[in-house]
Amino acid sequence: MASQVPLVRPDESWRAVGAAVRDDGLAVVAGHPSHWPEGARRLALTAAGAALRRPPGALELGRAPGGRPYLRGHPELEVSLGHTRGLLVAAVSARGRVGVDVEPAGRGVYGTPLVAEMTTPYERSALAALPEEERNAALVRLWTRKEAYTKALGVGLRLPFTAFGLVRGPAGYGPRGPDGRPVDPSERDRWRFGTDPDVAGCVVSWAVRQLANVSYEESSSSCGAPESTCWCSRWRRGDGSTPSSSRSAARNCWNVSSARHGWPER
């Protein structure tokens, strides 16, 4: 990938990203710009600008108390940023609060002191029950989901990862107490998580605290955006209708799950 993020481009790619946000509720994009954090801000502003049909230079990111980024003057959209060596990610959501995180897929963390810092006893038991060769990859996925969750909450690393768990249930992943017990169902059921385990050698996860009266069908797509990757998710209104463009906004969308199967780990 090139070292610069493509900004305003009059092609189908960024139009598809914009349509994903407007009609499908969520877009997560990744690229390889040269500098953090400016590159990620440009990536987020480009995606938000595509959704709002405005040039990214006309938009501005601010920081809420606690550091959570937001789009000035556009409370209808939520944004989140993340980075690791060589890869930046940005999420733009019309569903509600969003968080995104990225880590190298091959990062060795299982068996190190980090395990005790980022997991609950229940999660450690679940990891230990996996075949040995799967534990590290599962921990990296869990780590990125927890990072995304705390970013969506707006608390970041101020919330210890040992204070909550993320456990897979019939409707997908949801927050749990340290002992693995469910939290308040009204809060638990509002969260949706997604993970892509291989984006240029990295794991990318996102978390959305969805708006009330909206259900979602998860899909993942590569929209063909130059030097970037986009994941788009369809949403269904409270009346059961689906926006007419949700199946055609991104030409290369491929469905990976549906609402009846939750948002399974990939």
Radius of gyration of the chain (CA): 18
Task: Identify whether 7 is part of a domain.
Answer: no
Task: Identify whether 157 is part of a domain.
Answer: yes
Task: Identify whether 179 is part of a domain.
Answer: yes
Task: Identify whether 1 is part of a domain.
Answer: no
The domain in which residue 93 lies consists of 12-261
Task: Identify whether 127 is part of a domain.
Answer: yes
Q: What is the pLDDT along the chain (266 residues), one digit of tens a residue?
A: 333 333 333 445 788 888 888 888 999 998 876 677 788 888 899 999 999 999 999 999 999 988 889 999 999 999 999 999 878 899 999 999 999 999 999 999 999 999 999 999 999 999 999 999 999 999 999 999 999 999 999 886 778 889 888 877 666 677 877 777 767 766 666 888 999 999 889 999 999 988 765 544 444 443 433 344 455 544 433 444 444 333 333 322 222 222 222 222 33
Task: Identify whether 53 is part of a domain.
Answer: yes
In this prediction, residue 170 carries a pLDDT of: 60
pTM of the predicted model, to two decimals? 0.76
CATH code (residue 106): 3.90.470.20
Between the CA atoms of 205, 209, 215 and 218, what dihedral angle is there, to the nearest 10 degrees?
Answer: -10
Q: How many domains does the chain have?
A: 1
Of 181, 79, 184, 75, which Cα lies nearest the Cα of 121? Answer: 181
Task: Identify whether 4 is part of a domain.
Answer: no
In this prediction, residue 173 carries a pLDDT of: 73
In this prediction, residue 19 carries a pLDDT of: 85
Give how far Cα 160 sits from Cα of 4, 72, 178, Å: 35, 29, 11
Tell me how far apart the alpha carbons of residues 155 and 247 are, in angstroms, rounded to a whole number: 35
Contact 24, 234 (CB under 8 A): yes
Task: Identify whether 82 is part of a domain.
Answer: yes
